[in-house]
Amino acid sequence: MEAIAVTIPEILAQFRRLNVLVMGDICLDRWCTYDPATAEVSRETGIPRIGVVRFESTAGACGTIANNLADLGVGRVSVMGAIGEDSHGDELFRALGSRDIGVDLVMRSPLIQTFTYTKHINSETGIEDLPRVDFINNAPLPESIDQQLTRSFESFADIFDAILVCDQAETAKGGIVTSMLRSAINDFAKRSPHKVVWVDSRKRAEHFQSCYLKPNEDEAREAATRLLGKDDYEALFEALKLKALVVTAGGEGADIIDVKGKRRVAAIPNPAPVDICGAGDSFSAGAASALAVGACIDDAVALGNLVGSVTIMKRGTGTATQAELLGKLGAQ
């Protein structure tokens, strides 16, 4: 049945009935506020310390999308991936639990560590102005984890109304979405055309098929060049047999390429965004949820733009509530 155009309030009212999975790379964001006045030099090393006076832990990557889904009023939100049996993993579980996000499909293993961004924010300026300290995995995902995650996906994928794939790793090794898991995702998307499979992949977009694919402009051009030898990203739609290619363009909105051709859905103007970090994740949460309740792709992208227009006015990886979205609509 072809999706029909409906209003944004009508779309939002149906989110509570959805059961949505976010899968792939899950990370912990640690926001460490430091006081530059405490940067005394260590007697042992002669290196000035970074005096952290407070910190906050939030879920990132898959967690950012899941947070957005929960705050948008989606009825049930779960994440799937793999993290370490470490203190950062404990913090991550607590952060997800604060929004009642399901973690039953998250593997914990001593063979990897929890991917963690540690960000240093100057207490005097409120600006992140020191290098991050990242806890990363730079070796291939252990085969036992890879196999178990793939089996888990194949067993549980069909119970969800929408599946959002977050392939965030920018290195060739260490990411959760391996070739084995990606093959299972592609197979599911192909044999389940009634399901919403929404993919955001920074470095491997050209390897996903039969889904809704959402790169930004740079990622789309790079994927097209790797796959087709030219930066004509419109050609990805047919080459990958996609349901739709949605290419985000920041403050300009997003392009849709599907069987109807190419068109742009304009963004909602925001003359002075506070923080664009996580805007793509917010967009994905809104757009994929709209598709899952039967909205057409144009209306889904419009809702994604609306969600992003709210979250970029907040510091950090912000989220948007239905009340905020409706308020923004009323102000237009």
Q: What is the DSSP string of 4-25?
A: B---HHHHHHTGGG-EEEEEE-
Q: How far is CA 212 from CA 156, 164, 194, 200, 294, in A?
A: 20, 9, 12, 9, 14
Q: Which helix (H) or strand (E) holds 298?
A: helix 297-311
Residue 316: DSSP 8-state = S
Q: How confident is the model at residue 295 (pLDDT cuts 50, 70, 90)?
A: very high
Question: Helix, strand, coil proportions of the chain in percent (round to 5)?
Answer: 40, 25, 35
> Residue 19 has which token pair?
């059961």
Residue 125's contacts (CB-CB under 8 Å, 6 or more residues apart) are none
Entry field: residues in the chain: 332
CA–CA separation, 118 vs 144, rounded Å?
Answer: 28
Domain ranges of the chain: 8-27+60-114+137-331
Angle (CA) 94 59 105, round 5° = 70
Nearest one of 324, 244, 249, 323 to 279, comparing CA atoms: 249
pLDDT tens track for 84-105: 999 999 999 999 999 999 999 9
Please give the CATH topology (third level) of the domain spanning 8-27+60-114+137-331: UDP-N-acetylmuramoyl-L-alanine:D-glutamate ligase (3.40.1190)
pLDDT tens track for 196-225: 999 999 999 999 999 999 999 999 999 999
Question: Whose structure tokens read 């640690």?
Answer: 30
E strands, the chain, where?
Answer: 19-24, 26-34, 52-61, 76-84, 102-109, 116-122, 133-135, 162-167, 196-201, 212-213, 244-248, 254-258, 261-265
pLDDT tens track for 14-52: 999 999 999 999 999 999 999 999 999 988 999 999 999
The SS3 of residue 291 is helix
Walk across the sheet containing 133-135 and list its strands: 52-61, 26-34, 116-122, 133-135
Check residue 3 and give its pLDDT. 54
Residue 132's contacts (CB-CB under 8 Å, 6 or more residues apart) are 117, 118, 119, 120
Angle (CA) 171 174 177, round 5° = 90
CA–CA separation, 129 vs 245, rounded Å?
Answer: 36
Query: When comparing pLDDT for 169 and 118, which is higher?
Result: 118
Check residue 170 and give its pLDDT. 84
pLDDT tens track for 146-179: 999 999 999 999 999 999 999 998 888 889 999 9
Check residue 1 and give its pLDDT. 43
Q: How confident is the model at residue 331 (pLDDT cuts 50, 70, 90)?
A: low
Span 226-253, average pLDDT: 96
CA–CA separation, 64 vs 106, rounded Å?
Answer: 15
Cβ-based neighbour number of residue 251 at 10 Å: 16
> Residue 146 has which token pair?
């890879």
Q: Which residues of 86-115 are buried (b: 16+ CB within 10 A; e: fewer)?
A: bebbbbbbebbeebebbbebbbbbeebbbb
Average pLDDT, the chain: 94
